[in-house]
Amino acid sequence: MSLPYVPRLICLLLASFFLVNVTVGLAVNWLAPRAIRWAIGARPAIAARVLLAMRLLPAVAALAVVVLFCVPSYLWFEPEATEDVGLICLIAAVAGAACWAGSALRGMSAMRRAKQYSRRFECAGHEICVGDENVWVMDEAGGLLALAGIVRPRMVASREVLRELSPEQLEAALLHERAHRISRDNLKRLLLLVAPGVLPLSKRPAGLSALERAWARFTEWAADDRAVEGDQTRSVALASALVRVARMNGSNPGSHALVTSLIADGEDLEARVDRLLRAEPSSVHPESGGPAIAAWMLAGCVAVVAILPGALEIAHGVLERLVR
């Protein structure tokens, strides 16, 4: 099939994205059980960060290859003419486009639901100040205590939760939600949701799904740790808040992808309470900038390699093979 310059570029970029995403995705899927085993022994905040990075790695690596290698090499070396594009390249490009379309649809749908949810509590609820935290109060019954929203996440609580929890329990529970807000966990949920799987229109492979579940679990543990900061009295208060809210049942929005609720899906409740009761007094280590610095250094190295004409020439050679 003959395509002019720009459509051929788009076709090549989509195909390259798809192939790199599949390759790195399969590697991550294979490594996932080992990573999760390692994470069990690591600090929850670190474990959550590493697992998130692993889950996002296929899409990030694919984007990096496209932006740093494919686009410059094509613009630099490819003559402006209409040329043929092979069937394999076309199929890969269609699969790449399907990956992007799936991600966009999932992202838009989740954001629409998040917006609807925010509108619901803005219409039906009212904002009050609890301690130094603004909380939207809903009149509905049930154990609702959650952080809703992506850009400006807000706390939502049912009147029953505010009435039934003691001041210590409520303080610990709000600190837990604040920890989620500081870590931007709802934004990370959105990233996980839009991150493509290995193949478009198919279920995510078991390894990638396991990474997402493990991330959700360690995120809760990390928020617990940050909320109690090694204070045993607060640990017990948070543990009893978890049990109390779990007893209320009701409108727990745990299944809502972009809402972080206090007891999440409830599956991990026993492990969380046990952890909190076992907690030894210790302070939570401040967030280190190590991974961010390493990521910037890596990005710098890739950029340096990318601007080398030799690397671009190799990239162009690979693209030439792909296009035929």
Partner 1 sequence: MNLSNGGRQPNLGPLEGSVMAILWEHGESNVHQVAERLERPLAYTTVMTTLDRLYKKGLLDRRKFERAFIYSPRTSRAEFEQQAAADVVVGYLARPHPAGEVLISSLVDVVGQLDEALLDELERKIQEKRKELEQRRRS
Using CB under 8 A as the criterion, which residues of the chain lie in contact with partner 1 when the complex forms?
Answer: 33, 37, 40, 232-233, 236, 239-240, 243, 246-247, 269-270, 273-274, 277
- Least gap, CB of 39 to partner 1 (angstroms): 12
Closer residue to partner 1, CB minimum distance, 33 or 102 = 33
**Residue type, position 249, single letter:** N
- Least gap, CB of 40 to partner 1 (angstroms): 7
Closer residue to partner 1, CB minimum distance, 185 or 212 = 212
- Least gap, CB of 160 to partner 1 (angstroms): 16
Cβ partners under 8 Å of residue 291, min gap 6:
49, 53
- Least gap, CB of 277 to partner 1 (angstroms): 5
Query: Interior CA angle at 271 toward 150 and 291, to 5°?
Result: 50
- Least gap, CB of 91 to partner 1 (angstroms): 33
Closer residue to partner 1, CB minimum distance, 33 or 86 = 33
- Least gap, CB of 236 to partner 1 (angstroms): 5
Please report how many Cα atoms fall inside a 13 Å half-sphere around the Cα of residue 106, on the Cβ side: 20
Closer residue to partner 1, CB minimum distance, 238 or 315 = 238
Bridge partners (DSSP) of residue 128 are 135
Closer residue to partner 1, CB minimum distance, 203 or 247 = 247
Closer residue to partner 1, CB minimum distance, 40 or 298 = 40
**Token pair listed for 257:** 């992808």
